[in-house]
Amino acid sequence: MPNKLRVVGIRRAQRFSPNSVERDAAICQAVADCLGRQGYDVSLHAEEAFTPSLAQGAAAVFSMARGTETVAALERLSTPVVNPVAGLRNARRGDMTRIFAEAGIPMPRSWMVRTDGTLPDADCPCWLKRTDECAQASGDVVYAHGRDELAAAMRRFADRGLREAVVCEHLPGDLVKFYGVKGTGFFEYYYPTAGDGFSKFGLERHNGAARFYAFDAAALAATADRAASLLNLPVYGGDCIVGADGEVRLIDFNDWPSFSRCCDRAAEAITSVIVKAIESNQKLS
């Protein structure tokens, strides 16, 4: 390209990368490097330091940011943003749970609750999860063996000012983590409880060792891409449970994971999404 187009990247704040700071930084840098090899002028900025003026004149912004103020700043831009702000808002667990339930995405039975209210009619063991933001500490996702533990966890949430939460049934089966970039054909999965699986908080242990139940991987990829479309979240990751009968249900879905097992391949796919956004925006200009 005769004149280099400028692209701005935003690194994720450390508080949104529990035990994953280096992994998250690596995929952000890999995308910047990939764009650079394609002739773009790329600058990276810390989430805490980002202001809309930094994106002035940029052809696109790619962002791993999750903070409320940064997301609000991104919303004011006319520049294409990957992932889109609408997707970041939809990915909040409370909104995501409602969207998936309405669309029939296979998932555990779930109840939206007030943490200062009564217990839901949920069997235990079950999970209590914050709804407003992604999990930033082990206390944001709680495994409750019984209803007394669930009640205590709800009180702790209320004491922290977390007024709303999601209670999800616990699903027995193989825990499978997946990574995807919608519309590119890139999709990979692995078993975190097998081999050297990485764990942020150690919660994977509640599903035990992988049994490697047979399941339809192509169907999982199609379901994940559909979920990404519903949320408007092209760069995504998540978790699902594969039951002994091969049934697959999503238990988590989030924006822009670390892609630590497939960083370079994921960076290529993410770059293609950013370039497509730039080209589409130029056609509209």
Half-sphere exposure of 281 toward its Cβ, with a 13 Å CA cutoff?
17
Report the alpha-carbon distance of residue 4 to residue 195 in Å, rounded. 44
- Note the pLDDT of residue 135: 59
- Note the pLDDT of residue 1: 44
Q: State the residue for tokens 């555990």.
A: 108
Q: Which two tokens stand for residue 228?
A: 């990404």
Phi-psi region of 46 (alpha: psi -120 to 50; beta: other; left: phi over 0): beta
Tens-digit pLDDT string for the chain (285 aa): 457 899 999 999 998 888 789 999 999 999 999 999 999 999 999 999 999 999 999 999 999 999 999 999 999 999 999 999 999 999 999 999 999 999 999 999 999 999 999 999 999 999 999 987 665 666 889 999 999 999 999 999 999 999 999 999 999 999 999 999 999 999 999 999 886 555 554 567 778 889 999 999 999 999 999 999 999 999 999 999 999 999 999 999 999 999 999 999 999 999 999 999 999 988 876
Report the Cα–Cα distance between both ends of the chain, in Å, rounded: 18
Residues 6+ apart with CB under 8 A from 241: 108, 171, 172, 173, 174, 175, 176, 207, 248, 249, 251
Report the alpha-carbon distance of residue 85 to residue 79 in Å, rounded. 12
Q: Which two tokens stand for residue 139?
A: 């206390």
Q: What one-character DSSP code corresponds to residue 39?
A: T
**Residue 54: exposure state from Cβ atoms within 10 A (0-12, 13-18, ≥19):** middle
Give CA torsion, residues 236, 242, 248, 250, to 10 deg: -40
Element (H, E) at 277: helix 263-284
| Rg (the chain; Cα; Å) | 19
Instruction: Kindly provide the b/e burial profile for residues 194-223, where b requires at least 16 CB atoms within 10 angstroms of the residue's own CB.
Output: eeeeeebeebbeebeebeebebeeeebbeb
